[in-house]
A and B are shown apart, each in its own frame.
Chain A
Amino acid sequence: MQFFSREHMKNIFTKPTNYVDTNKGEKYYKSLYEKMRKRLDELKAMKPVREHDIKFEKALDMWELSRRDFLKWVSATTALLMLPPTFEPLVAEAAEVMNRIPIIWINIQDCDGNSEALLRSSAPTVDELILDYLSVEYHETLMAAAGDQAEKCLEDAVRDFKGKYLLFVEGSIPVGMPEAFTIGRHPETGVERVQRLAKDAAAVIAVGSCATFGGIPAAYPNPTGAVGVMDVVKGKPIVNIPACPHNPANSVGVIMHYILTGELPELDSLLRPKFAFGYRIHDNCERRAHFDAGEYVEEWGDEGAKNNFCLYKMGCKGPFTFNNCSIIRYNDGTNWPIGVGRGCIGCAEPDFWDKYATERPLANSDIHPPGLWGVEATVDKVGLGILTATAIGIGIHAVASAVAGKKEETK
């Protein structure tokens, strides 16, 4: 386990450490398969978190989902986790034993955008089914209970699932001004709440840019002294899923990985899962051909804009932003910012509000991107290198076609 100071993090951020190693060889995948098989058998032997829980098949039925919808989701998720298609049966089984893992989801200094994003995930609504089937023991927005009753649910869950639950945190934590976030009948500050609940968690998952790197509240001058979860929680495994809002596919991915292996996925130096943050927006951008051809939008509304040219000169931060939204997209693969002609703002990177969020093209600024030897050259070299890596190729292709398939369906 590693912990990083903010300064150290920024240093690392400027180094090219992110790229995921996807071509791990047959032997690796074989042993991984066996490991997962064993883990699933163990989980199957376990009881669901709640005795009265319904069977998966029945849940599918209740949500009016067909086995086919489900299998489609399975293949997309397998691809998302960068596993070869032979792993699909395992992923399907994993979904069926999801009710063995209790989840607690709390909100600190947030905008609720990540919970919203989660609710707006994939149709057909397999992710919603997952939400239902998964044992979400506490979630402010979703649960039926409110007020004292809700607080009691939380305390019960912590007691009953000590050491076993995954703690999801949305929103930053105001350490500089504890009064900026208090909650509960016996007022508890944000730091106290996160630390107390993290103590008994199996792992902590920070969702959204606020919970990971402090996000908007931490933008200059950081009025409340906001920080991310990893700045206040020590001695626990932490996964960061940044972006504003985070892509729900990625949080579901982390849960699936945990169910499949009993471990957290491989992380990069900023504790982001490599399956999602192991390549850049730019590597798979639909406007990439225009970038390579030197065709740019020079001004909003110009001919280039009408022809979907590259947005680099309008301030697109895609070349420096590690995230998978160029493939997964948002709102059930409907679209994403670059799709409507607005560049990427770099929301999966730390401190992006102060250095990335603006319209200024990076080439004109003094920011050193996480590339290697300067802007343009890097973008091409690294980008092409990664596209030829086979496994990632398969992964990306499969996700893209699964998403495309879903789009077809809804028409």
Chain B
Amino acid sequence: MVKIQKTILSRVEGEIELKLIWEKGIIKDAFIIAPNFRGFEFILEGKPILDSLIITPRVCGICGHAHLMATVNALENLYKNAGYNIEISKKANLIRLITLSAEIVQNHLRWFYLFVFPDLLKLETYTEDLSEYIPIKGKQWQKAIDFSSKIVKVIAIFGGQWPHTSYSIPGGVVCDPTTFDITESISIVDSMIKYYEENIIGMKYENYLSIEDYKEFIEKSDKDLSKFLKLCFKHNLHKIGKAYNRFLTVSNIYPIFSQGATKRKKYNFNIKKLEEIDTYSFLTKKGIDFNGKKYSWAKAVRYEGFPYETGPLARRINNKDKLFLNLLADLKDTYIPRIWARIDEIIKLLLAMKKWLQEIDIKEPSYIKPKKNIKELEGIAYGLCEAARGSLIHKLEVKEGKIKKYDIITPSTWNLGPRCEKYLSPAEKAIIGLDNSLIAEMVLRSFDVCSVCTTH
């Protein structure tokens, strides 16, 4: 008998619904429904170009800063496409990287403790003492909140506030940090590194970075990440959540993220190979349509016609990270590597942030005025950015000083979008075949669900 079950996944940024079709106790089909919509693309249309700098960060309260970066990149790309060179000082570039990384770090940390651990608590009822991870009351939960609040202060120092900053503009940044600001940021990053070593990996980061195999790590560590992994193996979670084994990363952040699309082999990313499909989406090229088989506000996005997974695991793979190539060989693209990649990224970003902070030369200009007024430009441009959950793309069309069209493809669109005629989205694929709805929710959550971003 076929049974249809609808679950609402809260405890995400906004809601996502998961509709499961069961047959003989097995999930036969899964639909990821993004039920909420605000209409950012319509709101941006017809507005003066620079308004986008204020509006797009509000797409999401968690990764708004990445949206700002994508917009700035798109506006700078507009100059380039119109034949004008745009110059950015090294200082401005470093500051942008630092703030972007801080946002990613806060996200991963919070997600691990606030969203991932509570699921494990449910699986573990009464069998082991995990009181430290209980939401709101648990020590480790509280620490995660504390430290994720701490790292966003770095964004506030350079960007004024978090969430929702708008301090970056085509040509650079508006802030002029002092040595004091930089020292303060370094000390925050240092305290984060120490927290990470003592609580998450349970060893010096140098030792952690040389680990190439999960067994070795589990043996050497007894802190949160290791506890998490042990629980995963205990509950057989190393076999669940396999998606397509195709990974996409759209921009470079040397030396930690490298652009590329990997399916078995790595290829260069080419924006022209990307396509949005609205067969199952309420939002279509012709307008809004609630008919028939349509079930989500999100659109499907395909690269060379295929669905790709984006996000930290994709970044680790495209960056040819030894540990993750091994994990992929041992465990495939499943629950554990997907989650571990997010935790792993934290330390890589923190170390890079520290280096970047030390490299800032405050004597350099923060802003170099572009040769041409942006209001005189026309054309099509792309803004690419790596956000916490993966690759973010803004496409912009400008005419007569106004935004003619604005298209936003968020990481969640790649991972949690609806299906197309041929393929399910990576998260839908990863859920099919499971036999337990809690586990299905956990697999969905391993993609770091963000519904406000998915639909915008």
Q: Which residues of A contact B (CB under 8 A)?
A: 62-63, 107, 109-117, 119-121, 123, 125, 128, 131-132, 140-148, 150-151, 172, 174, 177, 179-185, 215-217, 219-224, 226, 244-245, 299-301, 305-306, 329-332, 334-342, 345, 353, 357-359, 411
Task: Indicate with 1 or 0, residue by residue over B128-142, a CB within 8 angstroms of chain A CB atoms.
Answer: 000000111100001
Query: Which residue on B lies nearest to A108, using beta carbons?
Result: B36
Contact of B149 with A by CB under 8 A: yes
When chains A and B are docked, how far (Å) is the Cα of A144 from the Cα of B121? 10
Give the docked Cα–Cα distance between A223 and B37 (Å): 9
1/0 per residue, CB under 8 A from A, across B6-22: the answer is 11111111110000000
Q: Return the contact of B161 from the options A123, A151, A216, A331 (Cβ within 8 A).
A: A331
Q: Which residues of A contact B51 (CB under 8 A)?
A: 353, 357-358
**A378 CB to nearest chain B CB (Å):** 25
Q: Given A140-B11, A180-B37, A216-B55, are A301 and B367 neighbors across the interface (CB < 8 Å)?
A: yes
Which of A141, A144, A174, A216 interacts with B40 by CB under 8 Å?
A216
CB distance from B325 to the nearest CB of A (A): 33
- Which listed residue, A140, A244, A331, A341, touches B15 by the CB 8 Å rule? A140
A residues less than 8 Å from B401 (CB atoms): none
19 contacts between A and B (CB under 8 A): A109-B38, A112-B13, A112-B60, A116-B61, A119-B145, A128-B145, A132-B136, A132-B137, A140-B15, A144-B121, A180-B37, A180-B297, A216-B43, A220-B46, A222-B43, A301-B366, A306-B176, A335-B156, A336-B161
> Do the beta carbons of A125 and B136 come within 8 Å of each other?
no
Alpha-carbon distance A46/B253, docked complex (angstroms): 57
A331 and B152 contact, CB distance less than 8 A: yes
Closest to B139 in A: A62
Across the interface, B64 reaches (CB within 8 A) one of A113, A220, A301, A338, namely: A113
Q: How large is the interface on B (under 10, 10 to 19, 20 to 34, 35 or more residues)?
A: 35 or more
The docked-state distance in angstroms from the alpha carbon of A163 to that of B175 is: 48
Interchain CB contact (< 8 A) of A244 among B58, B288, B365: B58
A341–B167 contact, CB under 8 A? yes
Inter-chain contact count A-B, CB under 8 Å?
236
With contacts A112-B61, A334-B156, A335-B160 taken as known, whether A411 is within 8 angstroms of B184 at the C-beta atoms is yes
Q: Is B35 on the interface with A (CB-CB < 8 A)?
A: yes
Contact B61 A245 (CB under 8 A): yes
Question: In the bound complex, how far is the Cα of B152 from the Cα of A335, in angstroms?
Answer: 11
Q: Is B218 an interface residue (CB 8 A)?
A: no
Q: Is the CB of B61 within 8 A of A353?
A: no
Q: Is B312 an interface residue (CB 8 A)?
A: no
Provide the bound-state CA to CA distance between A144 and B36, in Å: 22
Interface centre among B7, B14, B39, B288 (most CB of A within 10 A): B39
Contact A337 B161 (CB under 8 A): yes
Distance from B89 Cβ to chain A, minimum over Cβ atoms (Å): 10
Contact A120 B43 (CB under 8 A): no
